[in-house]
Each structure stands twice: as structure tokens, then as C-alpha cells.
Amino acid sequence: MSSTVNRLGVVGAGQMGNGIAHVAAIAGMSVTIVDAQPAVLERAKGVIEQNMARQVKRGLLDEADKAGAKSRIALAGDLKALSDCDVVIEAVTEDEKVKVAIYKQLCPLLKPGAIVCSNTSSISITRLASATDRPARFMGMHFMNPVPVMKLVELIRGLATDDATFATVTELAKRMGKIGTVSEDFPAFIVNRVLLPMINEAVYVLYEGVGTVDSIDTSMKLGANHPMGPLELADFIGLDTCLSIMQVLYDGLADSKYRPCPLMVKYVEAGWLGRKVGRGFYDYSGETPVPTR
């Protein structure tokens, strides 16, 4: 039996967290977003406003619904603000240590029946669940980027996830206007198990000098009919996230075919993480993105 979610918490106000809050507020839930960095919270507020304004312009949302949704979103710097939430979706940096440290702080503050979900792109849900006080009420809810546009949510049960939790989260995804697919709890689930090795291979193709940034992206757009080239997509996802997913695949499946490309490692070491910092395989400071190699 699923139960209705009225109050939703989101931890992490980055690209994914603000998108999750956006769709939940439009679906009628009261949403509180928590982030450790006040500047990120402020930016998230601006991004949500801009994205909702775009939906109004396209006729996908009316002004009254936009105002209602905005009024249902609260921002906070402390996890204590999530104490009355029915469900909390964690969308912080793709780093297991960071996520586990948050669960340790968060869980004692929550209602005993509250459900915790992770938006992780790749990390074992069973392992994350075991770091909480509620493995039965924990599961993966993997949204796609940008959340207000992309239809899919991958639903991933850990070994201990109970049926009521799965039913509630499946219903929540539907209410947020998403289509859920079920993936078993193996490294990177379905979408990223297939997508990330392709992106990593594109970085190898660049590293080996087989093509330039421009020729690789143009080839895949025109030759495989992809809406974005793989390097453009890597910048969009965030190169730190891409590298973490490759590392999870490499460690979790113990197969050398998942070895992260050294050039991807170098870009992350340089802090060239993609669109979110203004520079990755492209430089985003001007009108049109310019390849950085």
C-alpha cells in the first residue's frame, strides 16, 4: 500500500536537486531544499525561477500555478529543516563518503516512518541503505538531467527495501509526471551502465587524437542521430560525476573495459568540470561554446 507524500525534502541544491524540487512543487508538494553552501541555495532559487518562467513562456505552466509552486519551496542550510518530511531525496555530490555522512546526520532528525531516497547515478543502493537506520525505507530514485524536461526516473530497490516503500516511491515518481523503470541494484543501473562507457570512449578517442572535440561531437550527432555529442553531454552531466560513475563501474564490475580515460581524470583534476563551472571540453564564457582542445 502506497502512502501520500505531502512534504518532500531535497538535500543538495545543485543541478539535480533544484530540478527535483521544481517538479515536486509543481506537483503540489511542500518542498524544502537543504544545501551546505548558502551561495548554491541562492543560485538554485534563481535557476528554478528561470526554468519555471521558461515553462510559462512555452505554455506548459500558467502564472498562477508557477506562483503556487514557488510559494511551496523553502530553502534551508540545516538538515533539521527536514524533520517533518514524508520523503527525503538526497542529491548531493556523487561521493559515497559525503552521502553516508549526510545520512548519519539526517536519519536521527527524521520521523521514524520517513522514506529516504538517493538520486545516486551509480553507487550501490544496498550499501548506502546499510549506512542508514532504515534500510527497509530506503531506495534509489534516479532522475535524469534536466529534471523538469526528462521523463525517466529509474527506481532501484536495495536488498532490504520493503514493498510499501517501493509502492510509495513509484507513486511519487508518477505524481511528479515521470515514467519509472525498474533497475536491479548493480553498478550504474541501466542508463549510465550503457551511456557512460560511450562517453568514456569518446574521451579516449579525443585522448588518442582520433578526432577533435568538434569532430567527435559532430560525428555522433549526425552519424548516430544523438541530440547532443558525447563530450557536450559529459560537460552537461559534470565531469566529476562522469568520473565517479566510471570508477564505480570499474571497481564494481572489475573489468578493465570500464577504465576511466586519463584525460577525463586530468580535466577533473584541473577543476574543468563542465557547464556547471563554465569550462570542460568546451568553454562556456562566450555566446557559443568553444572547444578547449
Summarize as ranges the residues that interact with ligand NAD (CB under 6 A).
11-17, 34-37, 40, 91-94, 98, 102, 119-121, 142-145, 237-238, 241, 276
Q: Which is nearer to ligand NAD, 47 or 136 (CB)?
A: 47
**If we measure between CA atoms, which residue out of 34, 26, 32, 28 comes closest to residue 4?**
28
Question: Residues 34, 21: contact at Cβ < 8 Å?
Answer: no
Give least dist CB 104 to ligand NAD, A: 11
Buried b (16+ CB within 10 A) or exposed e, 19-49: bbbbbbbbbebbbbbbbbeeebbeebbebbe
Catalytic status, residue 121:
yes
Q: Which of 48, 4, 6 is nearest to 30 (CA)?
A: 6
Q: Rounded to the nearest whole angstrom, what is the least distance from the CB of residue 273 to ligand NAD in the complex? A: 8
Q: Which of 65/250 has CB closer to ligand NAD? A: 250
Question: Which residue of the set 51, 118, 124, 154 is catalytic?
Answer: 154
192 is catalytic: yes
Partners of 7 in beta bridges = 30
Closest approach of Cβ 28 to ligand NAD, in Å? Answer: 23
Q: Please say which residue, 42 or 208, places its beta carbon nearer to ligand NAD.
A: 42
Nearest-CA neighbor of 149 among 52, 223, 65? 52
CA–CA separation, 87 vs 181, rounded Å? 19
User: Is 145 annotated as catalytic?
Assistant: no
Q: State the amino acid at position 82 in one-letter form.
A: L
- State in angstroms the smallest separation of the CB of 208 from ligand NAD: 26
Cβ distance to ligand NAD smaller for residue 23 or 237: 237
Q: By beta-carbon distance, which residue lies closest to ligand NAD?
A: 14
Cβ closest to ligand NAD, residue 12 vs residue 135: 12
Q: Which listed residue (51, 90, 122, 142) is catalytic?
A: 142
Shorter beta-carbon distance to ligand NAD: residue 31 or 237: 237
Catalytic residue, chosen from 51, 119, 121, 183, is 121
Of these residues, 51, 118, 192, 244, which one is catalytic? 192
* Least distance in angstroms from the C-beta of 178 to ligand NAD: 13
Cβ at position 13, least distance to ligand NAD in Å:
5
Catalytic residues: 121, 142, 154, 192
